[in-house]
Amino acid sequence: MSRTRTGPASPATGPVHEALAGLPLVDHHCHGVVTADPGAERFESLITEGAVWPGSGISPFDTPVGVAIRRHCAPVLDLPRHAPAAEYLARRAELGWREVNRRFVTSAGTDVFCVDTGYAPDRVTTPAELAAVAGDAVAYEVVRLESVAEALAAQGVEPGEYATAFPAAVRDAVRRRGAVAVKSVAAYRTGFDLDPSRPSDADVTVAAARWLGAVGRDGGETGGRAPEPRPRLDDPVLVRHLLWTAVDLGLPLQLHVGFGDSDIRMHRVDPTHLTDWLHLTSGTVPVLLLHCWPYQRQAAYLAAVFEQVYLDVGLTLHHVGPARARAVLEEALEITPFHKLLHSSDAYGVAEFCHLGALAFRQGLADLLQSRVDADELGLSDALRIATWTGRGNACRVYGLPRDGLTEG
């Protein structure tokens, strides 16, 4: 398996950098990559959490992530570092999506992927296809709970049956797909300022009647965006029911936290709003807080005081870029137990993010750990253990993955 390429100007290197460069990563949360050439405008829209704003003069390439792509992805496509956006897009089209995907996915050096298959406005790789692109890799599926609920609504369910039909549909999806985890985007739908208690079946029936009735009429609420082609689960009672369904299921639960597109109401997704729910569900399922920025410290607090809470700063790391990845990781790790931080890329659509997410993680974490070793604040063997745990071991333990032979943790 090929490893990440380190640029010649990389300022700090050392044994931790070498160890992380050689460590096959577990990407515990990602999506598929597109199986077509996206075209310039679609590519630009895939690299931003905003949108493409034609005529504005504001290009997604003129952002920290755009700069990072031109710096760190251009060389993978045989271009000079910092190649202009137009040259980048031309070369990408020239190589074609199969070769582009192959280069970026293999250069990520990831050999285990946990793939959220519930968001795919584009035609993207299945988990098996993604693993095949990576070469010697495996991919597990993560079931997005809102998608299961929305599919259930689309196929038709009686309100009085919803409280039992939804958990059954989740169990069925998990079994059919061999999923290792479930995921919720409650952050996008209601935020976390919810009544923490388990809703009664009667409450669920009332809420389901309201929601399914609305779905029947207009396709659901979309919070300021154009209506989506399918129903959108955003009823607070049904979101609570969904979270408790995950608790009953017993699999690790991934929760989107913080940074995302304009559909987020950021002030409502501070994960510490989940505190009462975490007390109530203590001793049940692992809860993995994804992305987290700008709430990485709040997520770290929860990971420090609740046994079941884990976090990553995926998505964030490639959006801020390698130039700023260490700074975000420093905050994420201020008080976090070293068994509680995981790696994810949250790559969707463009394979660049597999590469860039892995690179920003490796470089940022290595800079952080090596500098502490150099200052004699951390022993080298401890630094190496923390690197291995974070890049691989913690995910293997939380998800019960078999490919753990490389770790000692």
- Considering only residues 29 to 48 of the shown chain, the ones binding its own copies according to CB under 8 A are 48
- Residue 353, φ and ψ in degrees, nearest 5: -75, -25
**Minimum distance of its own copies from residue 131's CB (angstroms):** 28
Residues 311-370 that bind its own copies (CB under 8 A): 319-324, 327-328, 330, 333-340
**Minimum distance of its own copies from residue 156's CB (angstroms):** 31
Tokens found for residue 309: 């809470």
- Does position 408 interact with its own copies (CB under 8 A)? The reply is no
DSSP secondary structure, 140-193, as one string: EEEEEHHHHHHHHHHH---HHHHHHHHHHHHHHHHHHHT-SEEEE-HHHHT-S-
**Minimum distance of its own copies from residue 84's CB (angstroms):** 10
Question: Near its own copies by CB under 8 A, which window of 29-37, 116-124, 152-160, 219-227?
Answer: 219-227
- Does position 256 interact with its own copies (CB under 8 A)? The reply is no
**Minimum distance of its own copies from residue 227's CB (angstroms):** 14
- Which residues, in sequence order, are bridge partners of residue 26? 112
- Which residues, in sequence order, are bridge partners of residue 288? 254, 310
> Burial letters for 354-370: b for 16+ Cβ neighbours within 10 Å, e otherwise?
bbbbbbbbbbbbbbbbb
**Minimum distance of its own copies from residue 296's CB (angstroms):** 9
Sheet of 181-184, strand order? 25-30, 110-116, 138-144, 181-184, 253-257, 287-291, 309-312, 341-342
Which helix (H) or strand (E) segment holds residue 27: the answer is strand 25-30
> Quick one: 60 or 391, whose CB is closer to its own copies?
60
**Minimum distance of its own copies from residue 347's CB (angstroms):** 17
- Member of 105, 133, 253, 278 binding its own copies (CB under 8 A): 278
**Minimum distance of its own copies from residue 217's CB (angstroms):** 21
Residues 221-250 that bind its own copies (CB under 8 A): 223-225
- Member of 188, 211, 259, 361 binding its own copies (CB under 8 A): 259
- Member of 9, 226, 402, 408 binding its own copies (CB under 8 A): 9
Residues 100-139 that bind its own copies (CB under 8 A): none
Check: CB of residue 314 under 8 Å from CB of residue 344.
yes
| Sequence letter at residue 383 | A
- Does position 63 interact with its own copies (CB under 8 A)? The reply is yes
Question: Near its own copies by CB under 8 A, which window of 34-42, 140-148, 269-277, 343-351?
Answer: 269-277
Q: CA angle at residue 278 from 187 to 25, to 5 degrees?
A: 70
The residue with tokens 């923390």 is 386
Number of residues located near its own copies, criterion CB under 8 A? 79
- Member of 62, 172, 218, 228 binding its own copies (CB under 8 A): 62
Q: Is the dihedral of CA 20, 183, 215, 274 positive or negative?
A: negative
